[in-house]
Structure 1
């Protein structure tokens, strides 16, 4: 009589070679372990944990997949620079826009690695991070990054320029470090995010001076004969971002219905050059109403573009874009910036950024008493708090109107009865 075979243990499940092992611990958590590529072209056994078998397996699979793509898997006993290299090229690259990834890489290369790169990740403390950030605020960056020795200037010749990082840049570097360490906590490499325990002062936002209504009219009048007149009409009357304006296609416009669909942005990236990307946030994808002046300007722009198409002949590049070069290709955002500076000079206006046209739109709408919710939808902000914080300032004239309104309400000379309101009317 053949004895019954015992049921297979959950610890004895066989897996393919290289897939690692997985089992349930006595504390109820699941532990998965496997070999991955480590710094120095070596192999290292790593362990990950999860509340369920699937959670642990997913974490291990991600590490092995990154290892197979050639990315070293940094662990807690790795240096900060080794972990940041893994996080930047193996994790963040899948969640960030290319231009944002480039800025993260620059912050790590120029600031974090020189200051904290040699420290062990597991031994990094909040004091280390605080000392590092304080150094960024007070240290001459020419000397810290070795620029003076290469250029034979600054500290190398005994004449330190004292060039320090702005508070906004220090806050940005801190945010990059926090994001990287937060991922280490999620992967159970660190028990806590020491960078999150360091509090930094919130930098004051840049005080921009939007165009007044008179300045805005002056700008549009100067742009009336400009080839890109319709672009400036849209920028000032709708508040669309520069990338969104350059990414508009004629198919996105309904000139008969007076609407425009915002669904993409034209950006220059290092790898692909000028390319279309999704809008900044999901809330940025929206349909907006077009003012009559914009519709009229777009009709004129269409006629001008048709003339340019006929003049270019076979050299015309069919792109479907609203705003193009004279040959039909996409416009470079940097060229628009230079073109805008020339327009400001011709109009006799002070120097502002192109993005300040968007701020001018919102401020002028606020001055006209437009509700903040309507401005939020027009600008495509994800939350009304963003709109409220960005445009909390009002001009002195608007403040004066508010104060005068309150004074009129409190002026007892205009009160016929002089009696306080009855309790029945107080709510």
Structure 2
């Protein structure tokens, strides 16, 4: 049987291309005939894709009819996934998939086509933002790729369960030109240098959250600081144990859990400067507890407000950004400034081997090169 591949005349660049049009079966709901057109630079590629499509078409006939929509399948798939995922990860999956449900969710799972997914991707890159920025503007490449990754994962499972024959999202990718364009326009905000770290530390020396800011500068994540209890701080032995995180999910729900991995659990030595700041903070909380009386919430978290109520990462960041604005400092993530902070602490007399532990380096020389 001959393969209906047509050789096209050379284009403006003198390139010869090969094209075919092939039936991909009738539409399951309407019975309307469906065709796809593919063009390739070599005859070999065209033949390979033609064989792949026709093989898929014949196999698809063996898949039983299923009426569920993509929305319904995503709900079912996510419910199964949730049994083996952290609550915050399930939330992330939910938000990521929500980006494509509005345009694709109503489509019957077996009717979903590669063109549908391609069209969603183009729309998302062009005007798909509904939160986290100006509505109606394009989503970033990373956000679109994350949604595609989750969709591909869900459709892989649908293939495994014989609900659909192929994963129609498998070959959908953000165009390289779009990636390059985003990189060219993306503003890179470098972390603070030593002088900026020094200016920030001077600005917060009398701030109630001075100790928390120092821990952030040294590389603890906001969720790790928020999850820390005084039982994790040994001021006599000058050590700090990190083994819990406390995360704000969707700016509404607080989730407390163990660190993601064993590598995240660590005991760190406290430099004298940081230990003294924590000791002062603990003494301050004793005074605040006496002043508040019965209104005080004694929950043993390190990072609390004047009534003992645990603070979250958003509140910590907002306070830090407020100090930056008041001090005319560039707005950065404190975590990103840790290399300059280590230099600052080294100049304050903190031994290199203590800083190496915080940096996660086994060789002190590596830390000194930062």
Q: TM-score, normalised by structure 2?
A: 0.66
1:101 aligned to 2:90?
Answer: yes
Give the deviation of 1:377 after TM superposition.
7.2
The answer as to 2:243 corresponding to 1:254 is no
Residue 320 of structure 2 corresponds to residue 330 of structure 1: no
Q: Is structure 2 residue 294 aligned with structure 1 residue 294?
A: no
Which one has more relative contact order, counting CA pairs under 8 Å at least 6 apart? 2
1:39-78 superposed Cα distances (whole Å, 9 cap, x missing partner): xxxxxxxxxxxxxxxxxxxxxxxxxxxxxxxxxxxx8552
Is 1:164 matched up with 2:152? no
- Structure 2 residue aligned with 1:410: none
Match of 2:212 in 1: 231
Cα distance in 1 for residues equivalent to 2:155 and 2:118: 15
Match of residue 340, structure 1, among 316, 320, 331? 320
Mark the structure with the bigger radius of gyration. 1
Measure, in 2, the Cα distance between the counterparts of 1:321 and 1:254: 14
In structure 2, runs of 5+ residues without a counterpart are 1-64, 347-353, 362-368
Check the 8 A contact 2:200/2:327 in 1, yes or no: yes
Alpha-carbon distance in structure 1 between the residues aligned to 2:328 and 2:252:
37
Tell me how far apart the structure 1 counterparts of residues 359 and 86 of structure 2 sit (CA, whole Å).
Answer: 21
Distance 1:268 1:106 in 2: 14
Of 334, 346, 359, which aligns to 2:336?
A: 359
Runs (5+) with no aligned partner, structure 1: 1-74, 146-153, 155-160, 369-373, 382-396, 399-427
Counterpart Cα distance in 1 of 2:248 and 2:304: 15
Quote how far apart the aligned CAs of 1:290 are: 2.1
1:287-330 CA distance string (max 9 Å, x none): 22222211111111121111112222222211111121111120
- Of 184, 190, 198 in structure 2, the residue corresponding to residue 209 of structure 1 is 190
Aligned position for 1:87: 77
Partner secondary structure for residue 246 of structure 2: strand
Match of 2:123 among 117, 121, 135: 135
Following superposition, the deviation at residue 264 of structure 1 comes to 0.9
Taking a change above 3 Å as real, the CA distance of residues 183 and 261 of structure 1, as seen in their structure-2 partners, is farther
Map of 1:261-410 to 2, 5 A cutoff?
261-269=241-249, 273-352=253-332, 356-362=333-339, 378=358
Determine helix, strand or coil for the equivalent of 1:339: helix
Give, in whole Å, the separation in 1 of the partners of 2:304 and 2:246.
Answer: 12
Q: What is the alpha-carbon distance in structure 1 between the residues aligned to residue 248 and residue 136 of structure 2?
A: 33
Please give the per-residue CA displacement for 1:329-365, whole angstroms capped at 9, x wherever unaligned.
201333223211221123221222xxx2111114665
Contact map agreement 2:211 2:274 (CA 8 A) in 1: yes
Q: Over aligned residue pairs, what C-alpha RMSD do you find? A: 3.5
Q: Distance in 2 between matches of 1:271 and 1:295?
A: 31
Task: Give the match's secondary structure for 1:196.
Answer: coil
Residue correspondence of structure 1 range 109-124 to structure 2 within 5 A? 109=98, 111-124=99-112
Counterpart contact for 2:88–2:255, Cα < 8 Å: no
Equivalenced residues, count: 282
- Say whether the 8 Å CA contact 1:79–1:118 is kept in structure 2: yes
Relative to structure 1, the CA distance from residue 136 to residue 289 in structure 2 (aligned partners, 3 Å threshold; closer, same or farther) is same
Q: Provide the secondary structure at the position in 1 that maps to 2:95.
A: helix
